Chains A and B, each alone.
Chain A
Amino acid sequence: MNTLIYTACLGLFGLLAEIFNFRKYLIPILVLGLAIIFSLNLQTWNHPQTHFNGMLSDSNFSTAFSGLALFIMLVILILSTDFYSSTDDEKHISDYMAILMFTLCGALMMFSYANMAMLFLGIETLSISLYVMAGSRRFEVKSNEAGFKYFLMGSFASAFLLFGIALIFGVTGTFSIDGIGAYMRMHADSLDPRFIVGMLLMVFAMLFKVSAAPFHFWSPDVYEGAPTLITALMSTLVKIAAFAAFYKLVSVCFVFAMGKAELILTFSCAATLLIGNLVALVQDNFKRLLAYSGISHAGYMMLAILSLQGSTDSALFLYSVGYAVASLAAFAIAITVFKATDTESISGFNGLGKKNPFLAACLTMAMLSLAGIPPFAGFFGKYFIFSEAFRNGYEQMVFLAIISSIIGVFYYMKVIVAMYSKPANEFEIKPTFSYQMVIVVCLILSLVLGLYPGVFTKLL
């Protein structure tokens, strides 16, 4: 809970920085603040507590995911120094930073909610901040379009979530997730149809938020149109926050009622895996490619939610960490390349292997980790999720997931091929020091996690 309060304070500080005109020192101060909050967050480890009359609860689950979210935001802040370096952006830097902090607040609420009100507020805080950030390039129609599409889809999904919450409140008479869980356990055999409809509506809304098929169509457009740094944020922090909230919701409130939704979830998981990987094959735009790759990763993570009977939270966490570090490294490189070549298509990476072997090697490692090739973290994340799903009797789904991850290797290879075997273009690509640092740190983390996955497998 303290993590949440301090992060909100940092957000307010960002707003004040605008008034008192110390924008120059804002990002270093926020980075320092987030680093302190990160270490404070570790103190809640093994100290489960509830706060505010059971509105929020700290648990190892929320601490682990909050740590990951803080790390992601730290990386995004470091990347933002060079990303927002134009004069127009510098004027608005404190607004951007404040909104990013509030995004983080929303994510933190989604990890530690113990009441439907907090779930709703968390999702909305996260989403509303991101609608603004996605549309923050005011004079580009693409960015406007991305922001507005995200807004329409997001608020549409929130309405479903709310209708579900209202129906469940009508049946159980409480918003507390433990209360709903207790009701679900007591009436597991004869659940009220309104409870089941409410559960299905909430599941649909969460599928929207994690961009699982058939509700995935907004995400490639939004990812493409939004500023690249915000795309990086959406494909890591937002996806992970939505999955953690989804996992907590299902595991606490609906685990015995899931039989009714299992068919829908299985279908959606299979469709997500296939659509994500197959459509990614034909993409030329790197951001769209990563968007579809994000959709396919949502499919793998949904396997963890499907196979809830075994506790799959550590597998989900390991997968999230592996996915986040690899994506952040890939986006950091992409931002550098986009800026130098002024194009977002994969052809911008042509001949990177000759021009800047360091960047090319790093991008190769990130792509291999996303594709799930050992010894990177991506491989072990997939491995643990698949083995949990296999143990819980989803053999066909695991088979499908393995097939689709083999398809996935092809489009990740497309980028690698472009870097090493296409003729080089004339642009000079040179990452700044902070970008190099971020890329190296992320990839080292990915490698360490891949070599010693045991640290995380029994963590939660």
Chain B
Amino acid sequence: MKFVDEFRDAGMARTLATQIAALCEPGRHYKFMEVCGGHTHTIYKHGLEDYLPETVSLVHGPGCPVCVIPMGRVDDAIAIAEHDDVILTTFGDMLRVPGGRGSFFDSKAAGADIRMVYSPLDALKIARKNPDKRVVFMAIGFETTAPSTAMTVLRAAAEGLDNFSIFCNHVTIIPAIKAILDSPDLRLDGFLGPGHVSTVIGCRPYEWIARDAHKPLVCAGFEPLDILQSVYQLLVQLKEGRCEIENQYARVVPWDGNPKALQVIGEVMELRRHFEWRGLGFISHSALQVRERYARFDAERIFSVPGVRVADPKACQCGEVLKGVLKPWECKVFGTACTPETPIGTCMVSSEGACAAYYNFGRFSRDRVKEATRT
């Protein structure tokens, strides 16, 4: 397939793997965090770890959009969905995320009208078709998806649709990276930067990571060769004693980002004073809310949202996994109480979540897998 196959070439991967191995200093361990859930998915889907030396480990970061949603926000959304005249719409991944009293799937089975959409514009279509219903879009995601939500609000405003609103849960990536760097128990050698977020915000917002936190960051694409090349670039920087922000994903990411997308976000949304992240707790100025001037499209103003707070279950260590302090299998409930069938933590829900990716694609002794797949 064009634009895909050329980034999945096994021959080129072998060449890169040899160069990566040659860059590693004997006896030194390297720990890089891939920020994005999309990266985690690629790493497992293609079996990328087979190409990396054992001394290079990839730590899964907090950039999985559904993984950072706390249980309380799910309960709030379900409370909105339980109104008789409401159709709640959201992305497919979100449907299985557990709240304090169950998931959207459970609430749907109990009678709430909850529908999966592929784009917020689909939610708008549903609103047009159902003028007697109030259609709410549960908006989630980092800066990647925020522009399309904002555009949808602008479209609704232009059309004068009065039965459409969004339940805004958009978050921003920089405060999350800050929180990770502040975590004392994590020693990282560098970051694979979030490619899709960067198509919107560009690479400039990361400059402080190299300057103040002294960690190199390579903004990485999502095909397997993108990730190998980004690891290679990080190792070259370390070898040469450099610490810079580099853009591996330049075919998509402009250094200054997408000014139009940023402008649209800024028109519709503003920073929240604080937002609760699953496992990471409250982080100030880390999320977006709808501006006053678009209040009539803000589900939080239209409905009396209960503002539920649900404590993470005591045994659940999503926070440590999100920060990369624990590998998924090191969590106390991984694979026993918390499984893809009955996830307790969000990391076990989306295939972008570190725990689900590890459980579905990665778990099992590498030696036995290697033996079985030998030709």
Decide whether A and B are members of one complex.
no
B-side residues, CB < 8 A to A, are none
Q: Which residues of A contact B (CB under 8 A)?
A: none
